[in-house]
Amino acid sequence: HTFILSGSEKSQIWQTIEKLLVDNQVEVREHAAGVLASLMRGIDKDLSKDFRNRSYAQAQRILDMRRR
């Protein structure tokens, strides 16, 4: 079965998962990571690419700050 979601609904799901990936509870982060893996495989490729690019840029900023 497939859900039919609008672009704004898809975006809202991605934003929620992104917030849950940095939750204080490790179990929440683990489940969010599982959902993220499913999203990366199945939903809108543009949202997936956008997430990857933003995550990579954020990781680069963190590494740059640590190197200073």
Per-residue pLDDT in tens (0 to 9) along the chain, 68 residues: 567 888 888 889 889 999 999 999 999 999 999 998 888 887 678 888 888 898 899 899 999 999 88
- Give the residue from 15, 19, 38, 44 showing the smallest Cα distance to 29: 19
Count, residues in the chain: 68
**Do the Cβ atoms of 29 and 21 come closer than 8 Å?**
yes
Write down the domain spans for the chain.
Answer: 7-67
The CA distance from 42 to 10, in Å, is 12
| Residue with token string 């680069």 | 60
